[in-house]
Structures are given as structure tokens and as C-alpha cells.
Chain A
Amino acid sequence: MGRFLVPAAFAALFAAPLWFMVVGSLRPAGLPPPRTFEVLPPEPTVAAYARLPELIPLFRYLANSALVVAVAVPLTVIVASLTGFGLRLLTPVARRRAVLGLLAVLLVPVTAVWATRFELFRLAGVVDTYVPLLAPALLAGSPFLVLLYAWSFGGVPDTQLGAARLEGAGWLTIWRRVALPQVRPATLAVGVLAFTLHWSNLIDPLLYLQSGDRYTYPLGLQFLRLLNPTDWPLLMAACVVATAPCVVVFLLAQRILLNDDPLAALRSGGRR
């Protein structure tokens, strides 16, 4: 019994905020504060969702976000997989050095690059376009995504790479034809995580986007919060709209990322 009770309690704790989000969005507007903890509001309604597009250009924001994600996610996957494959080809000693070098670079605070990166993009004349929003994609989104690929490519045997090489295949071909097909689940997982990263990005749009009709959805949500700071059902509905795509997409990849044996699951391409 205890084997399930403790994990279940923690699972409930971590799921609780999402539950509060959904329940909060279903409260009728203008209701007095509840007297005690309520699992469901009295007379739940979806009216807040209907009011959302009346107050902000909801579909424009969502379309902008979708556009950014459509470019940024493939870019992230390509950079992460190239880098992960590069790490796989290094000798163990060189790999440790590369990882240490990477760590040193990551010591640079993000805030350190806000101002001067802005200056660079301003000199390039791309402020108020989506180009600066692709910068995180060129950095593979997060070192974690590179790590996922490095783990996965670790399962591709040296003999296979050598054999392909003997047949005269170039390294790019080997990456595309030999290595990538064996780690399809990793590609799915990285794609999903890249989606959540780019879909959630608030800081870059906040810094670089000035025209209201170019806002991505997270910026729109921040804008809505400044507009209606106390309309909680409305704000929670907006949060649900922001979160739902990430949750749906994540559920596609949970079988791989949260498997009993994640390393095997990342590598089981083509066979399952």
C-alpha cells in the first residue's frame, strides 16, 4: 500500500496547480470569494473562454505563436541532433572537455546577453521581427536537448558507423540515414520539449516585439493580465489556452521520456 500512497500523494501535489487552473477558469465572473475550499465551483461555466477573443486578438496571437514554433522547432531539432551526434563521435576525453567548455559558457547569465544581444540585433535591423525569437533555436533550445541526443546516439554501435564509412558514405549521410533512424523516439521527445520551450517563450518577445499585431501568445497573456488584473476566470481561461497545447504535445512523448527505462525507449527506433 505504502508503495503507492507516497508516490500518489506527490503526483497529486504536482497536478494540483493545473487542477486549480482549470477549475478557476470555470468560475462564473463576479462571484464572491468562496467560504471554504471548493473542489468545483458552483455552477461551472465556460463563459470566460467566450469572452477571451472579445478582449484580445486571441487568434492572431495564437497564429503568430504557431508561426514561430513551426520554424523554431525543426531548427532546434536539427541543431540539437547535429551537436549530439558530434559529441557521440568525440573520444571520451575530448567529450568531457567539450562538456566542461559548454558548462563554462552556460555560466554566462542570460541577463548578460539581453542588453548586448539586443544591440546586435538592433544593428542587424531585425528588432520587431521574429528573427531574434529564433536565437534560442540556434542554441538547441536547452543543453538538456543536446544531452538527450547524446544519450541516444550512444546506443548506435561503432561497427555500424565504420561499416557505413567503408561503403563510402559521407558523415552527413551517416547522420541522416544510419544514426537518426535509430533514435526516432529521441527526435520525437526533443521535438516535443522544443515545442514547449518555444511556445512558452516570454522574454524574447517581450524584448523584441513592439507592434501589437506581431505579439505571440505568452506576450498576449501578459498584456491581458495588465489589462484585467482581477478578472480571474478570464485570466485562468487564458492560462488554460496557453497550457493546453503543451500538455497535449507532451502526452505524446511521455511514453518515451518517462519510460521505466528512458535510455532504451529513446533508442528503440524502427523496432517498436
Chain B
Amino acid sequence: MSNGRVSRPLTAWAFLAPYVVAVALLIALPALLNVGYAFTDHTGLTRDPRFVGLDNARRLLADGFLADSIRASAIHLALAVPLRLLAAIGLGLLLAAPRPGGRWFRVAVYLPTVVPDVALAVLFLWVLNPLYGPLNQLLGLFGHPGMNWLAEPGSARLAVALMLAFPIGEGFIVVLAARRMLDGRLYEAAALEGCGPFGQLRRLTLPLLAPVLLLLAVRDTILTLQVNFVPAYVLTDGRPANATLYLPVYIFDQVFEFSGFAYGAMITSVLMVVTAVIITALLLMVRRWRVLR
């Protein structure tokens, strides 16, 4: 064993140290503090929080807005995650094959991802505008009278999910790269066995990519629970009828608008637990399918 190899784990951790320190200070510490603040009456304005036990938890149970908010988040999750995954995986597999000019198709798919999210949200305010908006005009070409997208709870939820189906670039690239890493000879063999394109997709591509797709699903669930803040803040600000009052929007309102710092911390702690439960359930489900050993 050479000297270099023996010292390697330590060296590796030395390189990881700046990131680990940043994660500890900027994510782990605030997250822990959050749990502590959840049992106080801190408003964010004064500096001497008092311990109030389970007061915030009691308030949590009686809060109708919170129930709306949880429902909005759950519906959004059910709409947006499958849509985003389907788009990222479908397009990644569709556009992975080399073809002349193929890169430009990929560029077009990636472009909405580089649009700043506030600009994308303002743009969708315009696209969804009932009078001027291009979407209703496009629907008009097919004889549909158009919708007042952001005024109805159902269509507003749909509109936000639709908008978030565009910035899918990260997942798209991961699928492109993962598909590229698969062995081409497997596909030749499958073709020789008389396996058609759909058989190849079902028997080869999807099972081989399963770990990557799982990772994407986990990451997208987390992202979708959290990243809908800017679109909802700009597009609807939680309206109509709390249909888009997603948890991040509600937490933001509590902490920074209503001086409910401690109560916001309590909701956040609940959100953390919920996220962890969802992800664990996802992982257990997948373990059953034996894709990850």
C-alpha cells in the first residue's frame, strides 16, 4: 500500500469540508433552531422568546388556513411531480439518440430552465391572461372559448403545475447522461431477439435506469414541495380561495408578514417531518420492487 492510498479517505474529507461546514451552518443549524423556536412565542421582532410549550401545536390543529395549505400542497405534488418526471424522462430518452441537429432540440427543451423564475412567472401571467394571453388565443383556434385561468381554484392549480412542467432541465440532463452510459450492445442483442422499441424501453432502459429515476423522483418531490414559492407568490399569492396557498407561501406569510415566527417554525417542523415520511415511503416502495439492492 502506497502512502498516497492510505491517506486518501482523510484527504477526501478535507476536500468535502467547506461544503460540509456550509451545510452544517446554513441548513442543519437553522433547521435545528427551527425545532427549538417552534415551542416559543417568538415573533421575529423582539429578541427574548419565551417557552410556551405546545401552544403553537394547539394553534396548528385549529388553523383552517393550514388545512387549506396542506391540501393545496398535496394536490400540487400529485399534479406536478408526475408531469415533471414524465417530461424530463420522456424527453431525455426521446432526445438522447444522436441525430443531425439533435443538440438544438435539447437546447429548446432546456431553455425555459435558464429563464429566471420570477421572469417565468410574470411571463405566465401574460400567457394565461384571459383577454390578451396567447394560451386562450391558441385554444380559440380550436374553437374553445378559453378559461379565466387564475380566477378558479381548479384551473389556478393546474396553471401553476403546467408552468412548472417547463423548467425541467436538471432532470433532463441527468436522464440524457444516464441513457448514454447504458451499453449499446445490450440493445443490439435485444433487437436480434426481436425486441421492439417499446419492449426495449420496458425491458432494458427503464429497469437499468431505475436507480437514477428514483433519485430524480425523490429530488423532484422535495423540489416541488418547496420551489413553488416564487410562482405562487407572483402568479396568485395563494389565491383564489387558498387554492395555491402552498406551504412555503403560508410559512413565508406567517414568518415575514404576520410576525408569527414561532408559529411558522412549528409549521416548518411539520413540513420537514411530512417530507421525510413521503421520501421514506417512496424508498420503501421501491425497495419492494427490488430495483435498489
- Docked Cα-Cα span, A17 to B127, in Å, equals 8
- Docked Cα-Cα span, A14 to B229, in Å, equals 22
Say yes or no: A225 contacts B225, CB within 8 Å: no
Chain B 238-268 interface 0/1 with A at a Cβ cutoff of 8 Å (1 = within): 0000000001100110011000010011001
Considering only residues 161-198 of chain A, those with a C-beta below 8 Å from chain B are 161-162, 165-166, 171, 175, 196
Say yes or no: A114 contacts B116, CB within 8 Å: no
Considering only residues 231-272 of chain A, those with a C-beta below 8 Å from chain B are 232, 235-236, 238-239, 242-243, 246-247, 249-251, 254-255, 257-263
The interface residues of chain A lying within 8 Å CB-to-CB of B16 are 82-83, 86-87, 98
The interface residues of chain B lying within 8 Å CB-to-CB of A258 are 103, 106-107, 110, 173, 176
A138 interface contact, C-beta 8 A: yes
Say yes or no: B127 contacts A11, CB within 8 Å: no
- Docked Cα-Cα span, A15 to B108, in Å, equals 5
The interface residues of chain A lying within 8 Å CB-to-CB of B3 are 165
CB distance from B34 to the nearest CB of A (A): 5
Say yes or no: A14 contacts B109, CB within 8 Å: yes
B91 interface contact, C-beta 8 A: yes
The interface residues of chain B lying within 8 Å CB-to-CB of A105 are 23, 27-28
Say yes or no: B102 contacts A86, CB within 8 Å: no
Given the known A-B contacts A83-B19, A146-B19, are A109 and B166 also in contact in the complex, defined by CB atoms under 8 Å?
no
B8 interface contact, C-beta 8 A: yes
**Residue of B19, B44, B265 most packed against chain A (CB within 10 A):** B19
Chain B 1-20 interface 0/1 with A at a Cβ cutoff of 8 Å (1 = within): 01111001101111111110
Say yes or no: A171 contacts B14, CB within 8 Å: yes
- Docked Cα-Cα span, A82 to B16, in Å, equals 7
A51 interface contact, C-beta 8 A: no
Given the known A-B contacts A114-B255, A138-B22, A202-B117, are A120 and B126 also in contact in the complex, defined by CB atoms under 8 Å?
no
Say yes or no: A117 contacts B26, CB within 8 Å: yes
Chain A 131-159 interface 0/1 with B at a Cβ cutoff of 8 Å (1 = within): 00001001110111011000100000000
The interface residues of chain A lying within 8 Å CB-to-CB of B122 are 221, 225, 235-236, 238-239
A7-B102, A17-B124, A18-B112 provided; 18 other pairs, C-beta below 8 A? A10-B91, A14-B109, A14-B111, A36-B140, A37-B137, A79-B19, A87-B12, A89-B15, A113-B31, A115-B255, A162-B2, A171-B15, A200-B118, A222-B234, A225-B122, A235-B122, A254-B106, A262-B173
A sample of 24 cross-chain residue pairs with beta-carbon separation below 8 angstroms, ordered by A number, consists of A10-B109, A14-B108, A14-B109, A17-B127, A18-B112, A37-B141, A79-B19, A83-B18, A89-B15, A91-B9, A108-B27, A109-B271, A109-B275, A110-B226, A111-B268, A112-B30, A115-B255, A116-B265, A120-B30, A135-B26, A232-B129, A236-B123, A247-B114, A258-B107
